[in-house]
Amino acid sequence: MLIRGRLFAPAPRGNVLIEVSGDRVTAIEPVASDAPAPAGALGGPDSVITPGFIDVQVNGAFGQDFSDPSADVALVSRGLAAFGVTAYVATVITSPLERYPAVLDHLAAASSGPDGARLLGVHLEGPFLSPRQPGTHTPTWLREPSIELVNGWLDRAPVRIMTLAPELPGALELVRALVARDVVVSLGHTDASWDQAAAAASAGARMGTHLFNGMRHFDHHHPSVVNFLLSSDLAVGVIADGVHVDRRVLDLVSRMASPDRLVVVTDALAGLGMPEGDFRLAGVELVSDGVVGRRRDGTLSGSLLPLDHAISDLITAGMDPEQAFRAVTVNPARVLGLDGSMGSVAVGRTADLVILDPGWRSSVTIVGGQVAYAGIR
Ligand code: ZN
């Protein structure tokens, strides 16, 4: 397979011809900017090539909700490839305790097909979250941290990330227990002060979940978890649909957290890739307006903007393309400890690639050297 385009690896590498053999990138040759694509090659002089996008917060899509043990995971994996996503972490939001075993067993057994995005594991968002910052999480299902409960869940499924509120009783002990089992701890749905957030970082927390949303606000007299995340060396997850965070604020965050700490997530819901209207999240009815999902009372619940659209919008609004691409490739790969195998394009690496059209949207997605999506949307 040959691919012609302008490469962001994610650092800009200019015009290239990439050769893929089997599941690997086997050559990257510079070419003239006006060099046409060889016969049979994918892409062309107007195309942009990037590493495959990695989304660490996907609650579901295409009518499927990962908090439901009957979700069709393969359907989601195939569908996400259309948005440039080559790997993702299935996110389970706060659910009744009795539902966790079936949900985790289901996700542990689900293997994405060869024609879809890779399922990298599970992101548990809750139930150890602040009742003061529940967002769309059902308050009566929230719990105080329990290492015993978590150990049972970790034995069932490959949990990669856990979002928790560090100010809850027993939270720091849980952070240490999770870190010892190679789970990334992310601070979210939290009313923490700067000091409480800093204590969690000292205990091993590595990330913040959807900065600003579900967090005590930025305060210049009494610095909060938001202030800490912006000032620290932790990764910062943001929902980049322009609704969860105003684009002007996102621009400020990107200046503070780029190049290495910014992680753009979709926080996608079952309504992603579906018509506007009603759908469900952990059994709760939501409404889609095509960009975000909300509870009936108006509470923001997650996003419905495809990841490649979010990246396209960021670049069109003025973000440096390399910074935007880093936020969905090498940065999330590093958070997961997978930057040695994914998140960048290099000879010898697995060929997880996206070809973008001149509008920065995905036109071809390649997973493991196989075309997982090719088309015009
Ligand atoms: Zn959330």
Q: How far apart are CA 299 and CA 312, in angstroms?
A: 26
Ligand 1 centroid to 135 CA: how many Å? 7
Ligand 1 centroid to 99 CA: how many Å? 19
Closest alpha carbon to 356 in 321, 304, 317: 321
Q: What count of residues does the chain have? A: 377
pLDDT at 265: 97
pLDDT tops 90 at residue 294: yes
Q: How far apart are CA 86 and CA 78, in angstroms?
A: 9
pTM of the model: 0.97
Extract long-range pairs of 34-37: CB within 8 Å, 24+ residues apart: 35/4, 36/4, 37/2, 37/4
* Contacts with 52 (C-beta within 8 Å, 6 or more apart), sequence order: 84, 85, 86, 87, 117, 329, 342, 352, 353, 354, 365, 366, 367
Task: Please write the tens of the pLDDT for every residue from 70-95.
Answer: 999 999 999 999 999 999 999 999 99
Closest alpha carbon to 213 in 303, 312, 300: 300
The helix (H) or strand (E) run that includes residue 75 is: helix 73-80
CATH no. for 53-335? 3.20.20.140
Q: Where are the beta strands (DSSP E) in 31-176?
A: 42-51, 53-58, 60-61, 64-65, 85-93, 118-125, 159-164
Whether 2-50+343-374 and 53-335 share one fold: the answer is no
Between 14-28, 109-123, 181-195, 354-368, the lowest mean confidence (pLDDT) is in: 109-123
Q: Which of 55, 68, 241, 267 is catalytic?
A: 267
Ligand 1 centroid to 102 CA: how many Å? 21
CB count, 10 Å around CB of 334? 18
Task: Please write the tens of the pLDDT for every residue from 7-28.
Answer: 999 999 999 999 999 999 999 9
Percentage with pLDDT > 90 across the chain: 93
pLDDT tops 90 at residue 376: no
Residue in the structure block whose two tokens are 């952070």: 175
CATH no. for 2-50+343-374? 2.30.40.10
Q: How far apart are CA 154 and CA 178, in angstroms?
A: 9
Residue 218: Cβ-neighbour burial (10 angstroms; 0-12, 13-18, 19+): middle
User: Domain limits of the chain?
Assistant: 2-50+343-374, 53-335
Ligand 1 centroid to 222 CA: how many Å? 23
Report residue 186 as tokens. 């992310």
pLDDT tops 90 at residue 114: no
Ligand 1 centroid to 180 CA: how many Å? 24
Ligand 1 centroid to 207 CA: how many Å? 13
Ligand 1 centroid to 41 CA: how many Å? 41
Confidence class for position 113, pLDDT limits 50, 70, 90: low
- Reply yes or no on whether 68 is catalytic: no
